[in-house]
Structure 1
């Protein structure tokens, strides 16, 4: 566990340009009010982005990824109840709006209101 946390912290600190770009659009509930975290331990892995409320994992794939390893990683994460969506780095760089639309389509339950009114004060 400590290894995964240390790895997550290192990845958090050493973001790629593509991760920085996508994070700039996901952070601070910028995507339709959904809360995302980055470089989060999930099972034996550290995922790129996580929306815990929707059980959605977003993975960015560069040239160092192999289809076999990615398929196994996806299978293991999905076995924990998450939906995993993957984007190639060049998709984020060349079609960020399309990537964000796909993420929005993949978000399952509605996010909780960030500042709900107390019961009885809705009128």
Structure 2
């Protein structure tokens, strides 16, 4: 097993599949995260340990996760808690957003993310 934390080679194919098959909320959010439109670079489907983050900014150590219905089952809630704790142990802040909010309250989502970016820049 590799000691590499970011983008481990054994998960490369899965990361590529996820990038090639983004959900509509992921596509919509990526349209404003890409090309430093909010002031920092984000990567999509970025490997961190044996997890794959939806969006990650290494500059400010921020992960953005989009959650759909599957994240509200007990097993998924526990899995996400373990995953988030792993990220926190690496000094990475995780914010979770609902797919529905991305699709229905996009301006509010962008404002929230922008505020989180400003906060992370001030605290790094």
Alignment partner of 1:8 is 2:15: yes
1:32-59 CA distance string (max 9 Å, x none): x211110000111000001111100000
Which residue of the other structure, out of 53, 57, 61, is the alignment partner of 1:55?
61
Considering only aligned residues, what root-mean-square deviation do their CA atoms show, in Å? 1.2
Which residue of the other structure, out of 31, 37, 43, is the alignment partner of 1:30?
37
Which residue of the other structure, out of 71, 74, 78, is the alignment partner of 2:84?
74
1:18-76 CA distance string (max 9 Å, x none): 10000001111111x21111000011100000111110000001111222111111111
CA distance in 2, matches of 1:99, 1:79: 26
List runs of 5+ in structure 1 lacking aligned partners.
111-123
Range that drifts further, 39-48 or 98-107: 98-107
- What TM-score comes out, normalization by structure 2 length? 0.82
Partner of 1:44: 50
- What TM-score comes out, normalization by structure 1 length? 0.83
List runs of 5+ in structure 2 lacking aligned partners.
1-7
More helix as a share of residues: 2
Deviation at 1:2, TM superposition (A): 2.7
CA distance in 2, matches of 1:77, 1:17: 25
Runs ≥4 residues deviating over 4 A: none
- The structure with more radius of gyration: 1
CA distance in 1, matches of 2:14, 2:29: 20
CA distance in 2, matches of 1:75, 1:97: 29
Which residue of the other structure, out of 89, 101, 120, is the alignment partner of 2:111?
101
